[in-house]
Structure 1
Amino acid sequence: MNLSRSEGKRKLPSLSLVRWLVVLIGFIVFVIVSFVLYVRSADSDYRNGETKATRIALDSGGLAKVTDAVIHTWDETVWVVTGTDSEGQAWMIWERKTELVKRKVSENMSEKQITAKFALEHGGAAPIRTIPGWFENQPVWEIRYWNEKDHLHQSIDFYSFQDGTKLRTFVLSSK
């Protein structure tokens, strides 16, 4: 079987530099879009919970405006929503499975007050994070910080939301 002259001289098409750049840019766009979609899907349960907690605080909790919503898991998982009512008073609402617990911020320990109390008790140490939570069937402040002794372990202190009394300290294992 003989090849014709035209078949023997055919060259395989090669990709020019422009075509390589188009393919490379297309691949990079594909990877970026895939990553964004993955992050959105991984974060969707949290965002749906936050939206639901905000809606409950606005509808059933008596808030006119929500400024923050955080999830806290210890004894049980609760959403803590911070906001203001129609009169401009600041409130915090703990959304438990069985009830809503609503507390006026001005009549309890604020985040600034509890952080100042913590700093006094721990020689001016700054906490890693301070969040409202639920511990031993009551609203609390959870403060996470580096252990002063060795700075290798973190500890968590729970303070009463109402009067700022320290309820318990947990030292976290480094393993």
Structure 2
Amino acid sequence: MKNRKTMIAYAVFIFILLLLALYLYYSYVTQGQKQEESDAILKAKQTAGLAATDKTWKSVWTETYWVVEGTDAENRKIMVWVPFQRVEDGADIPQQGTQGVHSELLQNGVSEEQIRTAIISANPDLEIVRLLPGVFNGEYVWQLFYKSNNSYFYQFYKFADGSPVGTPFQLPNTLQ
């Protein structure tokens, strides 16, 4: 009986150690991403008057941007695009100065909910995989990644009015 209790105690101890190791590994792997997000929020607060943060996204197309949604000092909803650059050690850091940082009141553009509703109503057969704000060809956009007819596509929509930018990019079909 005593031997069985000892085995159970060891098993519980090993299980807790395993959980701790997994947590530490996860923290280590995501620390760079969390640092980038913190840097983007700080840059948005310093340069665009962001007072509070609601949501953040990382957008990578031809350039890397962190987009921060929140409120300004007057409690108006605002979106801020913060450009990042790659440095020698492979990390991404915000670009120096205020160059490239762009802020826009949400009321002057299309919100995530509005663009999602418009996309679904225009194309009820597609499955939205991911929708995030970003930059495409110098325009501030919503980047849609979706599945339709067993293929995956990217489509961009202008942040200003929700109109499509160009035609969808179809990814090579690997589902068949």
TM range (shorter): 0.7 to 0.9
Deviations 1:125-144 (A, max 9, x none): 45232211111111100112
Regions of 4+ moved over 4 Å: none
Computing the radius of gyration from Cα coordinates, the structure with the larger value is: 1
Choose between structure 1 and 2 for higher RCO, CA contacts under 8 A separated by at least 6 residues.
2
Matched, 1:159 2:157: yes
C-alpha contact (below 8 Å) 1:154/1:172 kept by paired residues:
yes
Cα distance, 1:44 vs structure 2:
0.8
Distance 2:3 2:119 in 1: 65
Flag structure 1 segments of 5+ consecutive residues without an equivalent. 1-14
Map of 1:28-43 to 2, 5 A cutoff? 28-43=15-30
**Residue aligning to 1:103:** 104
Measure how far apart 1:85 and its partner are.
0.8
Cα deviation, 1:79-128, whole Å, max 9, x if unaligned, reads 00011111111110100134201111101122222223222431464523
Whole-angstrom distance in 1 between the partners of 2:147 and 2:140? 23
C-alpha root-mean-square deviation of aligned residues, in Å?
Answer: 1.8
Amino acid in the other structure paired with 1:129:
R
What is the aligned partner in structure 2 of residue 171 from structure 1? 170
Partner of 2:61: 74
Question: In 2, distance between residues paired with 1:33 and 1:172?
Answer: 39
Distance across 1 between alignment mates of 2:78 and 2:56: 12
Specify every segment of 5 or more residues in structure 2 that has no aligned partner in the other structure, as ranges.
Answer: 84-94
Structure 1 residues 16 and 124: alpha-carbon distance in aligned structure 2, compared to 1, 3 A threshold: closer
Q: How does 1:20-169 map to 2 (within 5 A)?
A: 20-96=7-83, 97=95, 98-123=99-124, 125=126, 127-147=128-148, 150=149, 152-168=150-166, 169=168
> Which residue identity does 2:159 align to in structure 1?
F
Which one has the bigger strand percentage?
A: 2
Q: Name the aligned partner's letter for residue 42 of structure 2.
A: R
Size of the aligned set, in residue pairs, is: 158
8 Å CA contact retained: 1:58, 1:66: no
Q: Which residue of 2 aligns with 1:6?
A: none
| SS in structure 2 at match of 1:16 | helix
Shift of 1:73: 0.3
